[in-house]
Structure 1
Amino acid sequence: MPTISMFYGIIIRMYCAPKEHAPAHFHAYYQDFKAVVDIESCELIEGNLPKKQLKLVLAWAELRQEELRADWKLAMESELPFKIDPLK
């Protein structure tokens, strides 16, 4: 699962596999925490992160939603997604 962005100790990854389960999503990791975030709604759909890191991830997702959609499309075609700028 390639890393598509990293910021403030948070790692964002996306699986590159056709038939990856819907909805379109990405995985966020922070220390021992793991979360899955829906790209369309920019909401947590699985797992958990500390409150501060979750807010950062959701804000980043809203700002980068179009890029995330494009990366999801690539990933569903078994292509590597592009890197996405971190939250600054």
Structure 2
Amino acid sequence: MKRIDQILDECSSAVSLAQLSECLDSLFTEGYSIAADGALYEAKHEVGRIKGMKIEIRPREHAPPHFHVTKGDIDASFSIEDCSLLAGSIGSREQRLIEFWHTKSKGSLVKIWNETRPENCPVGATRL
């Protein structure tokens, strides 16, 4: 069962305001949002945290397939295909470490990208 389905089941079976508040907390902290049509979707998928840096893949995104790295003054996005810096800023040391990590993680990044595409995602799945 997907995590979103678990949260929805918990919300549906909640009998108190405290339980509903826990559902809302899960929706906020786990990165969910509401589409224009009222559907719940995962707004971001945290791939990992490294020394305070968050690495995320966001489901409703633009091409090319990419991931985000954020921490304090770091806010950058990288191509899943070749780890090229697409946008943002990151120190050279951190960028080299992300590039090294990418060489080991590319297969997992492709898998997560594909698993998190919503049905109406304009980019869709990738075969990188």
TM-score (structure 2 length as normaliser): 0.55
Which structure has more RCO (C-alpha within 8 Å, separation ≥ 6)?
A: 1
Alignment match, 1:36: 77
What does 1:1-88 correspond to in 2, within 5 Å? 1-17=44-60, 20-77=61-118
Name the one with the larger helix percent.
2
Structure 1 residue ranges (4+ consecutive) displaced by more than 2 angstroms after TM superposition: none
Amino acid at match of 2:45: P
Once the two structures are aligned, what percentage of the paired residues are identical?
26
| Contact 1:5–1:11 under 8 Å retained in 2 | yes
Q: CA deviation at 1:30?
A: 2.3
RMSD: 1.4
Which digits, 9 at most, give the CA deviation of each residue in 1:26-81, with x for residues without a partner? 00012222000000011111111111111111111111000000011011136xxx
Aligned length, in residue pairs: 76
Tell me, which stretches of 5 or more residues in structure 2 are unaligned? Answer: 1-43, 120-128
Alpha-carbon distance in 2 for matches of 1:42, 1:50:
15
Q: Who wins on radius of gyration, i.e. which is larger?
A: 2
